[in-house]
């Protein structure tokens, strides 16, 4: 990177099922895209090979092997995603908005899935290394509301003839989703310099306002050229 190349910015969106992350990734991308090159991506996935692993993971292929094996597969997908998409985009000075990243492994396979925190931390060290998010927005929502949103979306998709059965993690018991919420809140509390907790129970416009406020506070200058623009669909 030369002195004149703008530094890349890495923002991750985390939280439970149906919390509204994808909706807000798209909205923030529209806002920032007015003056910065923005790459939107997701985990698991984001690269061709990682999307193949996603399909297997969400179908529950690795579930019988337990949370450590699942964490290894999420990590394999993350390695490819980092190497092929995230690191090159950041090196080019782009803004990378990623729907889920390392905190989902901490919460889903670690806190809620029962995988030892030391094992999760060791994986994170070797897989993520120094490519840690500049900002992580943690969408906080009662899991019953999030799952209801996901079910309502699935009903709409089924009405249009698509198959929309709950995936491997949506199908977990409510107690699992309650542990997830606690885990994400604990991450936000433990790493306040990186994380901002966003109240995701409000309507999409109010959540978008909270996202913009967090970006303005934590990444001064990133939104400056977009003042007065709307990101509404
Ligand atoms: N996983 C992932 C792990 O276990 N370990 C890992 O390391 C990683 C990276 C991924 C699964 O993999 C797990 C976690 C996940 O279970 P996914 O399909 O990508 O699977 O799952 P989610 O990220 O949970 O995706 P969702 O689409 O279900 O949730 P979002 O993105 O939070 O929600 P969104 O924006 O799609 O919105 C859901 C519905 O609600 C509406 C939307 O229109 C949509 O219909 N909505 C709102 N409704 C009311 N008010 C609002 N503010 C709303 N915002 C959106």
Instruction: Quote the CA–CA distance of 133 and 98 in Å, as a whole number.
Output: 9
pLDDT band of residue 161 (cuts 50, 70, 90) is confident
DSSP string, 165-232: ---TTTTS-HHHHHHHHHHHHHHHHH-TTTEEEEETTS-HHHHHHHHHHHHHHHSTTSSGGGTT----
Max mean pLDDT among 26-30, 149-153, 226-230 falls in: 26-30
Cβ-contact 20, 141 below 8 angstroms: yes
CB atoms within 10 A of CB 155: 10
Average pLDDT score over the chain:
93
**Whether residue 100 has its Cβ less than 6 Å from ligand 1:** yes
With a 6 A CB cut-off, is 177 part of the ligand 1 pocket?
no
CB of 206 closer than 6 angstroms to any ligand 1 atom: no
* Spacing, Cα 170 to ligand 1 middle (Å): 10
With a 6 Å cutoff on the Cβ, whether 169 touches ligand 1 is yes
- Quick one: CATH architecture of 9-226? 3-Layer(aba) Sandwich (3.40)
Q: What is the pLDDT of residues 62-88, one digit of tens each?
A: 999 999 999 999 999 999 999 999 999
116 secondary structure, DSSP code: -
Nearest atom of ligand 1 to the alpha carbon of 99:
23
Question: Which residue from 230, 219, 226 is spatially nearest to 8, judged by alpha carbons?
Answer: 219
Q: Whose CA is nearest to atom 48 of ligand 1?
A: 149
Instruction: Tell how far the Cα of 140 is from the centroid of ligand 1, in angstroms.
Output: 12
β-sheet bridge partners, residue 15: 139
C-beta of 150 in contact with ligand 1 (< 6 A): yes
98 Cβ closer than 6 Å to some ligand 1 atom: no
**Which amino acid residue places its CA nearest to atom 17 of ligand 1?**
17
**Is 40 touching ligand 1 by the criterion CB < 6 Å?**
no
Predicted pLDDT at 6? 52
Q: Are strands 95-99 and 9-15 parallel, antiparallel or unpaired?
A: parallel
pLDDT at 4 over 50: no
Q: How far is CA 16 from the centre of its chain?
A: 10
**pTM, two decimal places:** 0.95
């Amino acid at each position: 990177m030369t002195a004149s190349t703008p530094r890349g910015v890495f923002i991750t969106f985390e939280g439970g099922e149906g919390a509204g992350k994808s909706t807000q990734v798209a909205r923030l991308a529209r806002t920032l895209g007015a003056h910065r090159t923005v790459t939107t991506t997701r985990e698991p996935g984001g690269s061709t090979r990682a999307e193949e692993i996603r399909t297997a993971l969400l179908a529950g292929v690795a579930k019988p092997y337990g949370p450590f094996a699942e964490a290894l597969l999420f990590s394999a997908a993350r390695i490819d995603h980092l190497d092929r998409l995230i690191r090159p985009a950041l090196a080019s000075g782009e803004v990378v908005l990623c729907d889920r990243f390392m905190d989902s492994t901490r919460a889903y396979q670690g806190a809620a899935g029962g995988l030892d925190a030391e094992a999760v931390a060791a994986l994170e060290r070797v897989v993520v290394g120094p490519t840690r998010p500049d900002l992580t927005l943690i969408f906080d929502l009662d899991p019953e509301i999030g799952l209801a949103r996901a079910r309502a979306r699935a009903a709409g998709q089924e009405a249009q003839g698509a198959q929309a059965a709950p995936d491997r993690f949506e199908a977990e018991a409510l107690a699992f989703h309650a542990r997830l919420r606690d885990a994400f809140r604990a991450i936000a509390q433990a790493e306040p310099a990186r994380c901002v907790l966003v109240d995701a129970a409000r309507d999409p416009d109010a959540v978008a306002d909270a996202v913009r406020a967090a970006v303005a506070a934590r990444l001064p200058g990133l939104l400056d050229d977009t003042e007065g623009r709307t990101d509404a669909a």
